Structure 1
């Protein structure tokens, strides 16, 4: 555990070179009391910025006002961590009013603690993006927003009356980070954001390498996922496509890797039996992350035809393991692979597309693996944590400089 945030801020101020204080707002933060499953994508970013004082407010929406809670963990793993359960009705009803309450509560906490953030980073543009905008205005901080395609697309479609507010937030933001590269054009169309202040912010994975050596694969296609979300991950269509490919996938098996409730496991087994694929589609239990990365390396392909996937960390993990991927267009990693032929993009839910894609990945596997090896440097530049964090640090420094909040706070 590092020095307290108050000490860190005070030490920098005494030196006349105070490090910028970053306030993170996230509804997808893996905090100590968050029920599973939840991604650790935001944690991985925060972990790499601990040389800056940081405050994380992990937001959890509750629909029962009696469950509202505010829990301050103090200095926790190099950051000040707050878990805030706030009330909001489902379906985004009263979104702006609820986020106003969130901003007011967080603002009171910051004022009481004598904390003035230099950067407010909302890790979604909609929902807590509203609270982030209000807090940035209150404290004259630079506003960063992450754009996550799945939730942003739903809100832009279902809440057209909010678009003027979102256009103003986009105008006022110092930086917009596209986690979902596939939604960039639609986001720009809805908000009119200046592309010059946008950048990509891929989720951080642990196995990037600037050099990828092809290996001889096993005759297996792998599909890692949470079994709690098999419809979102496109597993029913994947199994149907594997069956539909018939003899062109002879000798190849499909492994579904993950854990989930008993009813999900039973449903998967039923799908396997319905397509007559017993012995060819195998259901494997959860693997520790390091073991999964090693397992990916020796697979023919990784197939995950998800619906509305924000990013999908397993896609770059497979590519850095040298394994070609099947992914969906307009979802997941789509937009990060432009100009590279390292996998097959399919239309979501289209069984014939998926079947043809599986066949291509198997029949042209050596060529795909060679192209991944040749593109290793480009993949590294686009997706390696070192590159991502360097861009993020540069954005922090530029925003603080432009905002004129360096040493006088």
Structure 2
């Protein structure tokens, strides 16, 4: 029986976004969440790395096995658990079938372990969630899932044939951890309103100590790697800058972030004719925070964004934010004067928001200063996020029994 009296609860995390011995450059969000609760739980990580198989042999296997191709995996230990490669074709081909088999392999690993977990957590609804639900069914162990809005909503939108299965994953979880309110709203719109417990879980950042805003900023800033310029909507920001200049109110916008020579050239070409738009190159964490302190506001009307940690970092650095509707941090700051929601597809809306912040900087930053001292701001600190994650994990174990 999992979880004997007096033991620290053991949690198995299944994640494709965990830095491991196979790929050390993955986003650190899940790793940070686990680190924040390391003293309260015995965490074990199964870190996933999908690899495309040789399609000729895969197709032959699928034909021989009547549309049920065999899942091939390899694994190796690393400091936080096991790093696993699994073969599955790109573009969602046999998406659920391969992940169900992965769940069966996870269940087998659990059955062979000395101590079974009290809870299994899949760190995306539409990918890891399918596998952990299958593992949970086979082992009788409760499971929880996180919702990472960009990937999860993209799959749910693209695969109506899987919505029945994804709904069962969503509603059968002992706990759901959405990273942002908009993501939960979008998922419920497709899969039905959840009746079970939900724990909203912002992503943690190390830049969570508030710096009071400074009035009299020297223009707007945006922060992203230039290889992501399309997703971050550089063209929309450049168009907004041109519109503002045409209205006789030119603005300054500095893009902070590295890129190859080709990426820099491509971005400079997109910015052509946008007076006041410049590229500052990459910056380390401390210089970035210092640069943010001197700016008027932060703007990044991304076209897709699961959360966007940099928005929270900007607020703690004393910068108002202009963020995209229906993604990123949408739903956390409704009605806040220092967080302006825009249609990312409308350059005129972006320009209007930037001009508004520039003209009302003092009033807006005064509201931001008050927010920085509020409980609402503290919910985005690592300490508060760690407490919320721990409470959600404990509740999931209770609900599942």
The reply to whether TM is greater than 0.5 is yes
| Preserved CA contact (<8 Å) 2:237 2:347 | yes
SS at match of 1:146: strand
Other-structure match for 2:262 = 263
Offset at residue 84 of structure 1 (A): 1.5
Deviation at 1:200, TM superposition (A): 0.8
Separation of aligned partners in 2, 1:85 and 1:348: 37
Partner SS for 1:223 = strand
* Aligned positions of 1:1-400 closer than 5 A: 16-34=5-23, 36=25, 38-51=26-39, 52-65=41-54, 70-74=74-78, 76=79, 79-80=80-81, 82-209=82-209, 213-246=212-245, 252-272=251-271, 274-275=272-273, 277=275, 280-376=276-372, 377-400=374-397
Return closer, same or farther for 1:203/1:357 CA change in 2, 3 Å cut-off: same
Conserved 8 A contact 2:143-2:400: no
The offset of 1:113, in angstroms, is 3.1
> Which digits, 9 at most, give the CA deviation of each residue in 1:31-50, with x for residues without a partner?
243265x4211111011121
Please say if residues 9 and 42 of structure 2, whose CA atoms lie closer than 8 Å, have aligned partners that are also in contact. Answer: yes
How far the C-alpha of 1:135 sits from its partner, in A, is 1.5
State the Cα deviation string for residues 313-352 of structure 1 (Å, max 9, x = none).
Answer: 0001001111001110001011111232212211122111
Could you tell me how far apart the structure 1 residues matched to 2:36 and 2:384 are?
12
CA distance in 1, matches of 2:332, 2:208: 14
Deviation by residue 1:296-324 (Cα, 9 ceiling, x = unmatched)? 12211111010121000000100111100
Classify the secondary structure of the residue corresponding to 1:222.
strand
Q: Contact 2:103/2:131 (CA < 8 Å) preserved in 1?
A: yes
Q: Secondary structure at the match of 1:283?
A: strand
How much has 1:105 moved relative to structure 2? 2.6
Q: Judge conservation of contact 1:170–1:193 (CA < 8 Å) in 2.
A: no
| Stretch of structure 1 that moved more, 386-395 or 317-326 | 386-395
Stretch deviating more after TM superposition (27-36 or 95-104): 27-36
Q: Distance in 1 between matches of 2:190 and 2:397?
A: 27
Cα RMSD over matched residues? 2.4
> Aligned partners of 1:281 and 1:173: how far apart in 2?
46
Q: 1:265-318 CA deviation, whole Å, 9 max, x = no partner?
A: 11111123x2153xx322122111232123212211111010121000000100
Give the gaps of 5 or more residues in structure 2. Answer: 58-70
Separation in 1, partners of 2:320, 2:182? 19
CA contact (8 A) 2:234 2:270 kept: no
| Over 6 Å off, 4+ runs | none
Go from structure 1 to structure 2 and tell me whether the alpha carbon gap of 1:343 and 1:248 turns closer, same or farther (over 3 Å shift). Answer: farther
What do residues 227-257 of structure 1 show as CA deviations (whole Å, max 9, x unaligned)?
Answer: 1110000111101211220177867421111
Give, in whole Å, the separation in 1 of the partners of 2:224 and 2:240: 17
Q: State the Cα distance separating 1:158 from its structure 2 match.
A: 1.5
* Aligned residues of 1:249 and 1:359 also touching (Cα < 8 A): no
Which whole-Å CA distance do the structure 2 matches of 1:152 and 1:402 have between them? 24
Give the Cα–Cα distance (whole angstroms) in 2 for the partners of residues 249 and 41 of structure 1.
42
Q: Measured at CA, do residues 248 and 364 of structure 1 come closer, stay the same or move farther in structure 2, by a change above 3 Å?
A: farther
The residue that corresponds to 2:65 in the other structure is: none
Q: Contact between 1:167 and 1:193, CA under 8 Å: does it hold in 2? A: no
Q: Kindly tell me: are residues 367 and 116 of structure 1, through their superposed partners in 2, closer, same or farther at Cα, counting changes over 3 Å?
A: same
How high is the TM-score relative to the length of structure 2? 0.89
